Amino acid sequence: MAINDKNITADYPRNNTRITATSVVTPTYSVTQPQAEAFLKKYYSDKLSRKSLKVMHKVFSHPSVLHRHLAVDAIENLVDEHPDIRIARFTKWAVELASQAIVKALAQAKRDASDVTGLVVNTCTGYICPGISTYLIERLGLSERIRAHDLVGSGCGGAIPNLQMCSDMLDGHGDGVVLSVSVEICSATFQMADDLSLIVSNAIFADGASASVLWRRPAGLTLIAASSRYDTCAREDIRYVYKNGQLHNQLSISLPAVASKAAATVVNDLLESAGLETRDISHWAFHPGGEKVINAIRDELHLPESHIKATRNVLAKYGNMSSPTVYFVLQEILNNGGMKTGDWCVMVTFGAGLCAHALLLRA
């Protein structure tokens, strides 16, 4: 049966990769937007112009984000954090959150560490060598012969390329079990200056992790097709830049327009390849890049507000945790009514590069 047959059976194709379990985790420490704004005013008012202070208050007062989770013991830990302490904090929390997510996902799949044949970890908020994967192998007792990869530099869009690599790893290994892990400690890139990009970043970004168990057995969400786009002309609209040897987030005021067009392009490419239209899709899991970005994507794809409800809910409850956030949206969908057999779901991520990715799933 061809992939563009809309009467495709729910278990087609039988040898496709499936996500059989997925989990999401956050640090326990949380902060409300008023608390975060008060912190920034207390320690950084002398670095901000009167105009920037007004902008900051407007951004932090917006109801699109209500609270976030941070990988710190107290928010004051971010003040004048030494780079060595920062990378140590990144390593500690990235390994801890990723481990928690993996343990939860494996339990859902009724599998354990001895079943795992592959591992892919993506992050963009810290660089360590060897990568996070090696720490997870040690921490969780994974096989020393496991195939493991660390992906960096994909920004908020990294979860879908991760899934594609996991699927490729299952080629020729039909009985394999592969872990897809996205983990970001965005607070490990915290900076503050009289810069709109940093003000907005400090109002929406947070920390979290996700893990998925993939296999080619007949259970789970089937990966049907994927599409990607790299618009290198828009690289400066969303990226990290190094200043004084430390990462600083850079966001353009043009980002909503640029990201929405890139997202619409990959979605249209994806649906065309599958012979589907937007009205055929019951569930949409968009990376919640911010209120204006969500609105722009909704309008570009002509979607009803109901299709982006899960994305808005996640942004409000957790903020933008970069690459794992799309899994929080997927989890929101599954936890609130779930997916009926045969339902289509499209996951969409975008980020540094400028990259955009879309993945077609079927229950």
String of DSSP letters for 90-136: HHHHHHHHHHHHHHHHHHHTT--GGG--EEEEEESS---SS-HHHHH
- My answer on whether 340 and 206 are in the same domain is no
Q: What is the reported pLDDT for 244? A: 83
Q: Are residues 141 and 36 in the same domain?
A: yes
Residue 38 located in a structural domain: yes
Give the per-residue pLDDT at 15. 66
State the pLDDT at residue 94.
Answer: 98
210, 255: one domain: no
Q: Which of 193, 215, 237 is the last residue of a domain?
A: 215
The CA distances from residue 297 to 71, 94, 192, 231, in Å, are 30, 30, 29, 16
CB pairs under 8 A, 24+ apart, for 252-255?
252/197, 253/196, 255/289, 255/290, 255/292, 255/293
Q: Are residues 270 and 320 in the same domain?
A: yes
Q: Are 126 and 33 found together in one domain? A: yes
Q: Domain count of the chain?
A: 2
Taking only the tens of pLDDT, the chain with its 363 residues reads 223 333 333 334 556 899 999 999 999 999 999 999 999 999 999 999 999 999 999 999 999 999 999 999 999 999 999 999 999 999 999 999 999 999 999 999 999 999 999 999 999 999 999 999 999 999 999 999 999 999 998 899 999 999 999 999 998 766 899 999 999 999 999 999 999 999 999 999 999 999 999 999 888 999 999 999 998 887 877 788 888 888 888 778 888 899 999 999 999 999 999 999 999 999 999 999 999 999 999 999 999 999 999 999 999 999 999 999 999 999 999 998 888 999 999 999 998 889 999 999 999
∠168-171-176 over CA atoms, to 5°? 100
Q: Which residues pair with residue 361 across a beta bridge?
A: 223, 345
Task: Please give the model's pTM, rounded to 2 decimal places.
Answer: 0.93
Q: What is the pLDDT of residue 254?
A: 84
CATH no. for residue 116? 3.40.47.10
- Contact between 116 and 177 (Cβ < 8 Å): yes
Same domain, 35 and 179: yes
Residue 10, in any domain of the structure:
no
Residues 104, 66, single domain; the answer is yes
Per-residue model confidence (pLDDT) at position 11:
37
- The boundaries of the domain holding residue 261 are 220-362
* Domain-terminating residue out of 178, 199, 215: 215
Q: Could you tell me if 60 and 207 lie in one domain?
A: yes
Task: Note whether 150 and 207 are same-domain residues.
Answer: yes
Question: Are 265 and 133 found together in one domain?
Answer: no
